[in-house]
Amino acid sequence: MTHDHQPFLRVAAGGSQTAACRRVSPGLLSIVIPCHNEEPVIDATHDRLVASLPATGMDFEIIYVDDGSRDGTLDRLEAIAARDRRARVIELSRNFGQQAAMSAGLAHASGDAVVILDADLQDPPEVIPEMVRRWREGVDVAYGRRRSREGETRFKLVTASLFHRFFASLMPYKVPVDTGDFRLLDRAVVDAVCGLPEKRRYLRSLIPWAGFRHEPVWYDRHARQAGETKYSARRLLGLAGDAVLISSDAPIRMIWVGGLAMALVGCLATGIATLGWTGSGGRQEGVSLATVVAVAAFFGGIQTLAVAIVGEYVVRTYREAQGRPSWLIRRRLNDPVQMPRSQDTRAA
């Protein structure tokens, strides 16, 4: 078992000349695919990829990261790896979540460029040659931008669109909207992102944070070909909250605004009460108990909310301080580099 999630830090030290050379030669393209319970679709995904990738003119490896699937995904992946050496499989020791699965795939990719792709064929592999073309022109991150989205409920479309825009507005650097994880990254970007020490990652903000040259590649997103989404409304909400709290300190600033607003209201109310008291010749006006309770509950609620927000940051700081790896690997198939047995006794 191993948790080698930051194996190499070859950050863009080579500079643009190295990058340019790399992009002219055929080079190696890695495709990273996080998979959780994707048995019904995974064979079709592999076939579509193998049919689409020769158009890139690059050698390729496909890295399937099995994120604790409980169906027959792993059996399917083993069969694929047995008949196609270009298919690598990283089996995580349990379900660590899509972000961890993608990060594990990135950390093990050896390509000059790496594409992240969902397993369900929502993002068509046929777009990858266009991403590679942009990369050869000098773009470091060619991200898939959705022109349309089939097979999603109206509720999901609206909430996703609103969230993307809200999220982008919180970030001090440019985060593309209507964009998922489907994107091509130059080796320098992969190394920069994999070299960061933080364990909890949200790649949709981390990759833009790294900078470099980003350009969109427009495409139509299809419906999932088979199987079901892994994200219930509740899980999506949790993910959205986590994304904000991992990527931004804006919620803390909102507490400032809330606190100042409350203090202002308090000052005004005190002023009005004092004037009213004087104006009525020293006679105290009566205030109903219900009003007092309502006001106390309102301000008590706001204060508790503020404490909860701070608490969320404390929890995340605590988790980072624990320093546990973001994922653990049980087994790897068709791995190009044999790890020492002490680190990964089951590497195939």
Please report how close the Cβ of residue 27 comes to ligand UDP at its closest, in angstroms.
25
Nearest Cα to Cα of residue 86 among 47, 120, 55: 47
Side by side, the strands of the sheet bearing 141-149 are 214-221, 141-149, 179-186, 113-116, 28-35, 59-66, 87-92, 329-333
**Residue with tokens 């606190």, as numbered in its chain:** 259
Binds ligand UDP (CB under 6 A): choice among 118, 140, 191, 344: 118
| Contact flags string 209-248 toward ligand UDP, x per CB under 6 A | ---------------x----xxx-----------------
Nearer to ligand UDP among residue 117 and residue 132 (C-beta): 117
* Cα–Cα dist 32/61, whole Å: 9
Q: Of 1-9, 28-36, 129-137, 142-150, which part binds ligand UDP (CB under 6 A)?
A: 28-36
Question: Cα separation of 211 and 217, whole Å?
Answer: 17
Q: Which range binds ligand UDP by CB under 6 A, 114-122, 209-217, 263-271, 307-315?
A: 114-122
Instruction: Check binding of 120 to ligand UDP (CB under 6 A).
Output: yes
Which amino acid appears at position 149 of this protein? R
x/- mask, ligand UDP, residues 47-76, rule CB under 6 A, reads --------------------x---------
Structure tokens at 110: 């050896």
Residue 197 Cβ vs ligand UDP, minimum distance, rounded to whole Å? 23
- Both tokens assigned to 157: 């479309």
Is 101 near ligand UDP (CB under 6 A)? yes
Site size for ligand UDP (CB under 6 A): 17
Handedness of CA 324, 326, 330, 333 (dihedral sign): negative
Under the criterion CB under 5 A, does residue 334 sit at the interface with Mg ion? Answer: no
122 binds ligand UDP (CB under 6 A): yes
Site for ligand UDP, residues 282 to 301, rule: CB under 6 A: none
Question: Does position 45 bind Mg ion by CB under 5 A?
Answer: no
SS3 305: helix
Residue range at the interface with ligand UDP (CB under 6 A); choices 55-63, 119-127, 133-141, 313-321: 119-127
One of 38, 39, 112, 120 touching Mg ion (CB under 5 A): 120
Angle at 229 between CA 224 and CA 235, to 5 degrees: 150
Least distance CB 239 / ligand UDP (angstroms): 9
Residues 132-165: b if buried by 16+ CB within 10 A, e if exposed: bebbbeebbbbbbbbeebeeeeeeeeeebeebbe
CB 61 within 8 A of CB 30: yes
Residues that bind ligand UDP (CB under 6 A): 34-36, 38, 67, 95, 97-98, 101, 118-120, 122, 224, 229-231
